[in-house]
Amino acid sequence: MGHNLGAKHDDDFKEETPACLPSVDDPKGNYIMFASATGGDKENNNKFSVCSVNSIARLLHQVLKSESNCFFTSNGSFCGNRLTEEGEQCDCGFTREDCDDVCCYPKDSKEPCKLKKFANVGNTTVKVDLHFPCPDYLTIVTGILCRFVVRQPRVSAVRRSASTETRSTCVEVLVSATRLPTAPAAVPSVRLL
């Protein structure tokens, strides 16, 4: 709703108005237009920040003045929403605390929504291989798989068998293994992208 009324994410204002983006330790929490979902149990979680209120007021003022073109369509992707969109190699969330993908940098890092060249898995550092049939995703090649992505006939998440569909679909497989499976049917759990 905030976006529809002209509000941007509060982190867009962090340079000019730091008060719009409380620190991670703030007991009152983030405001509604924080770029990532929050628990909703803190005081600020159901309030708009001053920055959002000002943006909404500007848009409503334009509407009241009957100015046209006050609403614009956004076609861009947004790093931090946990959806891998165009221009992103991965998207594990907004902050390091949100990110549970050892192979992906979150939005608040130096390389937002990019794959790491090396990932720490337990006590092991493994190399991330970006050259795979689905080049916009990854495989870790030293025995521990972060994601095994196959561009093959679609795999059914329910039956775990190849369907008769002819279109090419990327399939995300979550698995830990000592060697790469040779076919999608050999993989224990499958989730369609």
**Count of structural domains within the chain:** 3
CA separation for the pair 170, 137 (Å, rounded):
9
- 105-153 pLDDT, tens digit per residue, is 899 889 999 887 765 555 555 555 444 333 333 343 333 344 433 333 3
Of the residues 64, 84, 101, the one at which a domain ends: 64
Q: CB–CB of 39/60 below 8 Å?
A: no
pTM above the 0.75 mark?
no
- Is residue 32 domain-shared with residue 55, that is, in the same domain? yes
Range of the domain at 19: 10-64
Residue 69 lies in a domain: no
Tokens representing 135 are: 């080049």
